[in-house]
Structure 1
Amino acid sequence: MLPHHSTPHRAPIEVPYEPAEWPAPLRHIAPADVLERWSAADRGGHAPRVVAVPDGDGWAAAALVTARPRTAYLKIVDVVGHVPTGVAAVVSYARERGLAQVKWEGWTVGAEEAAAAGFTALRPPPAPGAGPEAAFVRWLDDVVVPEPPYYRQSTDFTCGAVTALVAQAQTGAEPHEPLDRPAELTLWRDATNFPACEPVGLGVAVRRRWPSSPVEVLLDTDRPVLLDHCSDGEREWRAVLQRASRTDAGRLGVPIRSRRLSLDGLRGAVGRGEHVLLLVSLAAMQGFDVPHWVLCHAVVPGAVVLEDPWFNTGAGDTWADAHLLPVADASLDAMSLLTDRPFRGAVRIGRAAHRG
């Protein structure tokens, strides 16, 4: 039974994340293994903070919350003390900030307790890795977002292939398509510009793998892309391969639209049940400017919902962050304009014509 408190709970407060010197009220209610987990990662890039509910001279509850920068969610790592009070405080805190979603990692909470607080269990990936075996989500606008499977890329360069595989797994274009490393590497091999997947090559590979799926490439530049890091010699032969991909697109009937995909256009396509593979920079969300493919598969008020096939375990990032990830429209608009001569690259995959 929870201890009786003579003083009513006060409004939640935000406390800085200071693992070198946790506040005494927190140490009083938090198990040692929980504080050890909170301290184990370098969470500084994900705005860590403690949301606490004061009660008398102590705290009734507290939660460590984090989130990737420029996103529209909040993640609970753990709640300590009186759990329902702590979760309600975090949900209220997220609503006040206009966020779309709260997630809850399942280190110390089970499905029944999470459901009682209004959370739904997420489908765990085949191998959670360093993350929790379970996680939960609560959408704050009472929206219904269909959940694709989550799969983490197994290399540093197969993000494009993974986003295409996850998109097709969700649509049922191939009901028995394996979502595993052989499928990932096989599709990457057909799409790669060594080692990256540029938009035209990725669109061509999708058409080859799923001929019944409508595919369109949207790329508002005619020059070769994703080659800024290469030497002059490397740029030359990679450019040859990108021109060959354009030839293949023409032969296979894959349209290449030279207009820039707008965020309204992206939201419209996703809202119609299509999928958009979108090239973004990780500078905003992870702190390093690396081109990266994500899957846009749903929209909610003010945000687009992504599947990100990569997460940074060293920063306390887990599959719970990368799965059903809402990113505010303006943030997604900014992070999907690449290089100092900005371009936007995307592959739109329509609904497949299913076999009878």
Structure 2
Amino acid sequence: MTIEHTPGARLPEGLSASAAGAARWASVREFWMPVTTVVRDDDGVVIGAALTMARPGTAYRKIVDVVAETADAFAEVVRAVVSLAAGDTRPEGIDIHPAVVVHVEEHESLDDARTHALHDLGFERQAGPVPSVPSTLIDTPAGVRVWSRWATRAPGRVIPYYGQTTEVTCGAVTALGAMHASGHGAFAADRDDNHSIELAFWRQATNLPACEPVGLAVATREALRDAATSPRVVISTDQPVLLEEYRDRPGERALREDLQAEGRRRAQLLGVPVEHRWATVDEIAERVAAGTPVGILIDLTALIDDPSPHWILAYDVIDGNIIVSDPWVDAENAETWADTFALPLPPATLDLVARWGEPAYRGVVVFAPREAGAAQA
């Protein structure tokens, strides 16, 4: 038996995928570092192949699709991917970060033999996400189930995964996820209800259309109605932020500056602490490891090739990697909630992306830990 790993998405001759599977093989852009893994028997005949991908600079690998005629061949292909992701093999021309987790997308229901094969290889099926973006709607054609194999341990804390259903509500979803995790549940079982909850919170927190750190913290504090569960803000500037696109529109900029000034006034009245300094990645990791979720303002460019400000929620640390829930799923480029519900960011990657603006500033919102929230529930 031989194993080949090659850059790109190239389903080998001799194997055929369904129409949906073929579309998946054609959907992964080079930016997501696609790799094709092929397993051949002792006679050189291809018995199975897998397509994998990951965001650059991250510590995961996702199996987008496996094509194999038998359960045994399926198991051999998945085992080969696990070895590649762990860095046990380093094929020429493939430069990927060692992964602390490998995810498998289950687009069509697996038969019992393949399910057993995943269990035998150390994979566990993940709990279902909160109904939101299409891939989280499990019982629909776009929905996927997710299996994960962590190299050492799985996250010890649970953030109910919710994907933002608009382009501007990442901050609201980040705050709602932190509140839910601390015992102040907000999400529902119905997707339409969740969409309403998401929009309602965004309306409270928005700077039209962005959510800046102080405004996001104030909206969270007002929703919690208890000073004991108040978030705190650490931001490296005392000037208005997220206004870069309004440089040539002074009227619109002035409105948003006024909104931010009001947010800071409300923060002072409500007792929301605001510190002006550059939060280090080590500090963020220490807070998260101690059980405190942290919302982080980032630049998406390095992760999905999109120069946009964005919010993510850090909620655990595994093998030095900060585990984040990213509400944005880039579905047009083959992403599903598998890519974003437990995204491991090495410290260097988090340090690179956790900034915005020119000159750059860093903003984080430190939410109440689970213990404080549970005490108030």
Please give the TM-score of this superposition, normalised by the length of structure 1: 0.90
Distance, in Å, in 2 between the alignment partners of 1:223 and 1:308 is 26
Letter in 1 for 2:75: P
Letter in 2 for 1:120: E
- Is residue 75 of structure 1 aligned with residue 62 of structure 2? yes
Instruction: State the partner residue of 2:211.
Output: 197
Instruction: State the partner residue of 1:217.
Output: 233
Whether the 8 Å contact between 2:21 and 2:65 is mirrored in structure 1 is: no
Shift in Å, 1:109: 5.5
Instruction: State the partner residue of 1:89.
Output: 80
Instruction: State the partner residue of 1:301.
Output: 319
**CA 1:58–1:132: 2 relative to 1, 3 Å:** farther
- Is residue 17 of structure 1 aligned with residue 8 of structure 2? yes
After superposition, the C-alpha distances for 1:94-147 in whole angstroms (9 at most, x for unaligned) are: 111522110000024635443232111122231451544311111112344333
* RMSD, aligned α-carbons: 1.9
Stretches of structure 2 that go unaligned for 5 or more consecutive residues are 88-96, 136-141
Instruction: State the partner residue of 1:6.
Output: none
Instruction: State the partner residue of 1:123.
Output: 127
After superposition, the C-alpha distances for 1:209-265 in whole angstroms (9 at most, x for unaligned) are: 013313100101011100001122211121111111111101000010111111111
**CA 1:263–1:176: 2 relative to 1, 3 Å:** closer
Whether the 8 Å contact between 2:133 and 2:165 is mirrored in structure 1 is: no
Instruction: State the partner residue of 1:37.
Output: 23
Q: 1:167 aligns with which of 170, 178, 189?
A: 178
| Residues paired across the two proteins, number | 341
Shift in Å, 1:275: 0.7
Distance, in Å, in 2 between the alignment partners of 1:144 and 1:190 is 31
Distance, in Å, in 2 between the alignment partners of 1:279 and 1:207 is 18
Letter in 1 for 2:376: R
Pairing of 1:1-356 with structure 2 (within 5 A): 9-10=1-2, 12-19=3-10, 22-24=11-13, 28-33=14-19, 35-55=21-41, 56-81=43-68, 82-96=73-87, 97-108=97-108, 110=110, 111-125=115-129, 126-127=131-132, 129-130=134-135, 131-172=142-183, 174-175=184-185, 178=188, 180-212=194-226, 213-230=229-246, 231-351=249-369, 352-353=372-373, 354-355=375-376
Letter in 1 for 2:85: A
Distance, in Å, in 1 between the alignment partners of 2:366 and 2:150 is 26
Distance, in Å, in 1 between the alignment partners of 2:293 and 2:236 is 19
Stretches of structure 1 that go unaligned for 5 or more consecutive residues are 1-8
Distance, in Å, in 2 between the alignment partners of 1:198 and 1:211 is 20
Secondary structure of 1:69's match? coil
Whether the 8 Å contact between 1:34 and 1:78 is mirrored in structure 2 is: no
- Of 198-207 and 106-115, deviating more is 106-115
After superposition, the C-alpha distances for 1:13-47 in whole angstroms (9 at most, x for unaligned) are: 2123255xx432xxx23434365133442533211
Distance, in Å, in 2 between the alignment partners of 1:319 and 1:268 is 26
After superposition, the C-alpha distances for 1:78-97 in whole angstroms (9 at most, x for unaligned) are: 22220111111111101115
Letter in 2 for 1:355: Q
Secondary structure of 1:182's match? helix
Distance, in Å, in 1 between the alignment partners of 2:322 and 2:124 is 19
Please give the TM-score of this superposition, normalised by the length of structure 2: 0.85
After superposition, the C-alpha distances for 1:146-171 in whole angstroms (9 at most, x for unaligned) are: 33211111211111111111111122
